[in-house]
Amino acid sequence: MAQNWIAPSILSADFARLGEEVDNVLAAGADVVHFDVMDNHFVPNLTIGPLVCEALRNHGVTAPIDVHLMIDPVDRIIPDFAKAGASYITFHPEASVHLDRTLQLIKDQGCKAGLVFNPSTSLHYLDHVMDKLDMILLMSVNPGFGGQSFLPSALTKLRDARKRIDESGFDIRLEIDGGVKVDNIREIKAAGADTFVAGSAIFGKPDYKAVIDQMRAEIAK
C-alpha cells in the first residue's frame, strides 16, 4: 500500500496569511496541500481558484497540491489549474457529463486524476475508469464546509473502495476528507485510507507539528 500522506486542508487556514500558513504546515510535516475549490453552485460555499494555486507556487511551495474541485461544470477550469501548478485534480462524477473524457483531460494536462464521492454517491462510477485513476477521494462529510463531524458510513465505503483498488492492481491513492481527527484517524486507516485530509483538526490548533505527529503515531499503531 502507498505511504501514508497527511493532507492539511487550507480551507481552515488563515487566508490573510496563506503563504505563511502553508509554509508552516509543510514544515510541521505535512505531505501534500489539500486545496478546496467551491463555486456556490455545486456546493453552498465559495472559495479559491487557480490564481491562488499559482500564488502558492510563486511563493515557493514545492509540495504536491491536491486540488479538490467542488464545482460544476469542471472541464473548462482544468487547464487553468494545471498551468497554475496543481499536482492532483479530483472532481465529483455528478459534475461531469463524460467522466472518461474529464479524467483524460486532466492527464493530458500532466496532472494526476481522481474521482470524489459524496457520502451518498455510489462507487459504481468506478466501474469503467479504474485505469485512469491516480486517486479516489471519499467524502466523510457532505462537502461545502470545514469543521463537520465524520460520518461513520464512510468506513464501510472505505473498505469497499480499498477492495476495488487492491483487486484492480492499479496504483491508486485512497483519500478521505471530512471530520478526520487524531481520535478517529486510526480506524480510518484500518478501513483502508492512505491519504488523510484534515482541516480544522490541524489549523484549529496552535501547534501544527504536534497534531501531525499525533496523527502519524496513531496510523503507525
Q: In the structure grid, which three cell numbers stand for residue 115, read together?
A: 474521482
User: What residues form the annotated binding site for a divalent metal cation?
Assistant: 34, 36, 68, 177
Q: Is 178 in the site for ligand DX5 (CB under 6 A)?
A: yes
Residue 129 or 151 with smaller CB distance to ligand DX5:
151
Among 53, 95, 182, 198, binds ligand DX5 (CB under 6 A): 198
Q: Bridge-partner residues for 136, per DSSP?
A: 115, 174
Among 65, 84, 201, 211, binds ligand DX5 (CB under 6 A): 201
Q: Which of residues 68-97 bind Zn ion (CB under 5 A)?
A: 68
User: What residues form the annotated binding site?
Assistant: 9, 34, 36, 68, 144-147, 177-179, 199-200
Give the integer Cα–Cα distance in Å for 157 and 154. Answer: 5
With a CB cutoff of 8 Å and minimum separation 6, the contacts of 95 are 42, 69, 71, 72, 73, 74
Q: Which of residues 119-158 bind ligand DX5 (CB under 6 A)?
A: 141, 143-144, 146-148
Q: Is 66 in the site for Zn ion (CB under 5 A)?
A: no
Give the integer Cα–Cα distance in Å for 120 and 93. Answer: 12
Give the integer Cα–Cα distance in Å for 117 and 140. Answer: 9
Among 200, 213, 216, 219, binds ligand DX5 (CB under 6 A): 200
Give the integer Cα–Cα distance in Å for 72 and 43. Answer: 9
Residue type, 143: P
Q: Tell me which residues touch ligand DX5 (CB under 6 A).
A: 9, 11-12, 34, 36, 68, 141, 143-144, 146-148, 177-180, 197-201
Report, as residue numbers or ranges, the catalytic residues.
36, 177
